[in-house]
């Protein structure tokens, strides 16, 4: 077993197949709840309040500093928690919503282009290929979530864009895990969607189908943004967050270019048949595609164009820091997790070594 720098023993991976999108009972994954939280729980100045949800950040008169948060637990009772320093770490989408509900920063208006909270919402431009074989066995039910291969030759600026009509790119990823019951049912194009023929096809295709996908960049546009819904509310009476999004033409052209490369790979693999799933305009929230939501409280050097500075400190309320992929001005063709971690470390370092020496002061002068 591996012991991490904080002294927590991590278990060896058993390649169970239930990895990505699942917790790990084996303590093999480097998720914060298994690698950091157990150490924090032992500290006298740390407390976890489970089954609780912050409703909003409470601001002092004038709205230039936070004095704590109001939260609710499963009893339905509201509590006020005083705080000299507030960190929003509630995932990118909810970070932006909490800022809007709390009156921290100006909500972005796509018509005028003014406002910073909710702007630059980006996603991930994905596409995929399935190659069907008769004589292969890929054992999709057993693997680790990080096991796989990536072709990065068409990601970012790794290739010549001179004669192309787009910017950005995508990685081509072959991740063998994800072959869990019910969720994985690869079938040949033209297979009926129900009945005995479908059942037979799922049995035949389960072990002998190779899937790979492209994970592409998503660039901000004026008309992709987050705001508060004028009609729908949550159970507490707060406006729901409203997402306005579709894939920009640039990103569709990029994805089609990378899809052409994936189709070339499919032909070279020599399977009996292949199917290409291209990204099209008209984003649909029903089928799961990605949890790489970014933007909404982006970092920058200009308070008129960004919600937080490069230390993730709010320009408008300096004792509030907003941690997460909400800070991304754009979204690259990569998983955001590593960058989120790096930004969190950078913010923590700045809070400890700069902010706490002069609490309430901005770390960057506008």
Which class in CATH covers the domain with range 87-122+293-366? alpha beta
Q: Which long-range contacts (CB under 8 A, 24 or more apart) does 32-36 make?
A: 34/8, 34/10, 35/4, 35/6, 35/8, 35/10, 36/6
**Which alpha helices (H) appear in the chain, and where do they start and end?**
32-35, 37-40, 92-102, 196-206, 249-269, 337-353
Pairing of β 2-3 and β 209-216: unpaired
DSSP at 222? T
Of 56, 94, 161, 292, the catalytic one is 292
Burial 258-280 (b: 16+ CB within 10 A, else e): bbebbeeebeeeebeebbeebbe
| Neighbour count for residue 317 (Cβ, 10 Å) | 23
The per-residue pLDDT string of the chain (366 residues; one tens digit each, 9 = 90 and over) reads 799 999 999 999 999 888 888 888 888 988 888 899 999 999 999 999 999 999 999 999 999 999 999 999 999 999 999 999 999 999 999 999 999 999 999 999 999 999 999 999 999 999 999 999 999 999 988 888 888 899 999 999 999 999 999 999 999 999 887 788 888 899 999 999 999 999 999 999 999 999 999 999 999 999 999 999 999 999 999 999 999 999 999 999 999 999 999 999 999 999 999 999 999 999 999 988 899 999 999 999 999 999 999 999 999 999 999 999 999 999 999 999 999 999 999 999 999 999 999 999 999 998
Q: Take residue 44 and report the two structure tokens written for it.
A: 């006298």
Known catalytic residue at 94: no
* Domain parsing of the chain, residue ranges: 1-47, 87-122+293-366, 125-221+247-277
Say if pTM beats, i.e. exceeds, 0.85: yes
DSSP at 13? P
């Amino acid at each position: 077993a591996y012991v991490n720098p904080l002294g927590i023993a991590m278990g060896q991976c058993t390649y169970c197949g239930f990895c990505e999108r699942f917790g790990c009972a084996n303590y093999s994954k480097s998720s914060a709840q298994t690698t950091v939280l157990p150490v924090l729980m032992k500290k006298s100045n740390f407390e976890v309040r489970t089954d609780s949800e912050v409703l909003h950040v409470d601001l002092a008169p004038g709205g230039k500093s936070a004095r704590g948060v109001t939260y609710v637990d499963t009893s339905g009772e509201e509590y006020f928690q005083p705080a000299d320093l507030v960190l929003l770490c509630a995932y990118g989408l909810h970070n932006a919503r909490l800022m809007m509900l709390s009156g921290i920063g100006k909500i972005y208006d796509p018509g005028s282009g003014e406002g910073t909270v909710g702007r630059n919402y980006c996603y991930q431009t994905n596409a995929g290929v399935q190659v069907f074989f008769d004589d292969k066995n890929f054992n999709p039910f057993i693997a680790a979530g990080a096991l796989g291969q990536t072709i990065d030759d068409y990601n970012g600026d790794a290739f010549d864009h001179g004669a192309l009509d787009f910017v950005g790119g995508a990685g081509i990823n072959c991740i063998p895990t994800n072959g869990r019951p019910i969720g994985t049912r690869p079938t040949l194009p033209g297979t009926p969607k129900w009945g005995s023929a479908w059942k037979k096809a799922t049995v035949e295709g389960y072990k002998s189908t190779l899937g790979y996908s492209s994970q592409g960049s998503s660039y901000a546009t004026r008309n992709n943004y987050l705001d508060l819904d004028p009609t729908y509310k949550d159970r507490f009476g707060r406006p729901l967050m409203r997402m306005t999004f579709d894939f920009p033409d640039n990103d569709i052209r990029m994805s089609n270019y990378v899809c052409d490369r994936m189709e070339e790979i499919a032909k070279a693999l020599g399977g009996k048949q292949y199917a290409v799933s291209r990204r099209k305009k008209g984003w649909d929230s029903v089928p799961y595609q990605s949890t790489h939501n970014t933007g909404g409280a982006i970092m920058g050097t200009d308070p008129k164009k960004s919600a937080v500075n490069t230390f993730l400190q709010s320009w408008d309320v300096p004792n509030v820091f907003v941690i997460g992929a909400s800070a991304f001005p754009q979204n690259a063709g990569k998983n955001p997790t590593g960058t989120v971690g790096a930004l969190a470390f950078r913010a923590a370092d700045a809070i400890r070594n700069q902010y706490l020496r002069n609490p309430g002061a901005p770390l960057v002068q506008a």
